[in-house]
Amino acid sequence: MSRLRYFLRRLVLSIPVLYFGATLTFVIFRFGPIDPAAAIVGETATEASQAEYLRVREQLGLEQPVFEHYRKFMVDFFTFDLGQSWVLAPGTDVVDLLVIYGPRTMWIVLWAVLIPIFVGIPLGVYAGLHSNTFTDYLISMFGIIWRAMPNFWLAIILLAVLSQSDALLGFDWNSFLADTSVTGTPDLSNLTSVDGFIAATKKVLPAAVVLGSASMGSELRIARTAVLETINSSYVETAKANGVSRRSLVWKHILRNALVPLVPTITNEAFLLIGGSVIVEVVFGINGLGWLFFQSAQNGDLPLVTALVFVFIVVVVLMNIIQDLLYLLIDPRVGYGGR
């Protein structure tokens, strides 16, 4: 099987996953414990509210036969017609809400991914190349501590420290580099300017550190283990015997092969970051998709909840596709020898 055929096959296999995810979303919406029409109308038992309740049920398609509703639901979802919010932003298209709230979450996730990649992985590689030294033990302990800290606990501690940074750290975080507060939503409208970029980055940096903390610990430890396994492999020993320079040995033979087990870790952690953003965005007061999902679930806005669940499923599938593509780029053996 060629590498292109392998990738196309993986691409086609993602379609049933999306279909199953959309079906599961429909089941939650239609047969879940919360009546979306009741959540929209409220609990008043007047005659007018009962009429409104029946009207809302009809608009949501709940009065249709199950299979007819299922067919329309699936067609709408796969044409990205995600409906409207009925509680948080009545009458507003979900796609419009995604356009408003999505970039804020993506901005946090971007930095939450980059921090582990450019901090955790280099530290793990360095520890693997200098195994059983004091530096290796120190870095390994650092990784274990970061991996063990719960996101919500670290978020609260970091929020408390930065709020009193003048007394605890000797400088005022609110005025450091840019005038921003610890909590609140970043302004992404001026990213093209240096000041706007710094302010938007600083605004989400505490949340990104919290969100990427577990990923940093995982990627550090896996990178160290992968480097140790690669160093002890036969082809590295052969390269050493042939007089390959240490620099070429590290960059060409060790690092490239050590990246292979890191690919699923990075892609899987990226999705977990989106899920973890719910807690982090609520703690730091950032109005992103995580905050929107929390508020819609808390207020029983099931049309919005189910739409966001489907969006998260699409993100999972896209991350798996990116993972397969990275495998093809890093490991030339992928796609050959499989059925």
Q: pLDDT, tens digit, for every residue of 87-135?
A: 788 878 888 998 899 899 889 888 888 888 888 888 988 888 888 899 9
Task: Pick the more confident residue, 19 or 234.
Answer: 19
| pLDDT tens figures, 64-74 | 888 888 888 88
Q: Are the beta carbons of 281 and 291 closer than 8 angstroms?
A: yes
Of the given ranges (25-29, 102-106, 328-332), which has the lowest mean pLDDT?
328-332
SS3 42: coil
Q: What is the pLDDT of residue 135?
A: 92
Assigned CATH for 95-298: 1.10.3720.10
User: What confidence tens digit (pLDDT) does each residue in 269-323 have?
Assistant: 666 666 677 888 888 888 888 888 888 888 878 778 888 888 888 888 888 888 7
Q: Are 190 and 178 within 8 A, CB to CB?
A: no
pTM metric for this prediction: 0.79
Q: How confident is the model at residue 37 (pLDDT cuts 50, 70, 90)?
A: confident
Three-state SS at 273? helix
Give the number of other CB atoms < 10 A from CB of residue 75: 10
| pLDDT tens track for 150-165 | 877 888 888 889 888 8
Cα–Cα distance, 37 to 335 (Å, whole number)? 49
pLDDT for 159-193, tens place per residue? 889 888 888 888 888 888 888 888 888 888 888 89
Instruction: Give exposure, 29-64, as e/b (b: 16+ Cβ within 10 Å).
Output: bbeeeebbbebbbeeeeeeeeeebbeebbeebbbee
Q: How far is CA 206 from CA 27, 103, 165, 179, 210, in A?
A: 37, 17, 13, 15, 6
Is residue 95 within 8 Å of residue 77, measured between CB atoms?
no
Give the C-alpha separation, 333 to 336, whole Å: 6
| 249 DSSP assignment | I
Alpha-carbon radius of gyration of the chain: 24
In this prediction, residue 134 carries a pLDDT of 92
pLDDT reported for residue 269: 66
| Residue boundaries of the structural domains of the chain | 1-87+302-339, 95-298
Structure confidence at residue 275 (pLDDT): 66
Buried/exposed 79-118: b ≥16 CB within 10 Å, e otherwise:
eeebbbbbbebeeeebbebbeebebbbebbbebbbebbbe
- State the Cα–Cα distance between residues 112 and 286, nearest whole angstrom: 15
Give 197's pLDDT tier (boundaries 50, 70, 90): very high
pLDDT at residue 44 is higher than 80: no
Burial of 5 (0-12, 13-18, 19+ CB in 10 A): exposed
Task: Show Cβ contacts of residue 319 under 8 Å, excluding neighbours closer than 6 positions.
Answer: 267, 268, 270, 271
Residues 279 and 265: their CA atoms lie apart, in Å, by 21
Whether residue 202 is predicted with pLDDT greater than 80 in this model: the reply is: yes
Average model confidence (pLDDT) across the chain: 81
Q: In whole angstroms, what is the distance from residue 191 CA to residue 187 CA?
A: 8
Residue 338 pLDDT more than 70? no
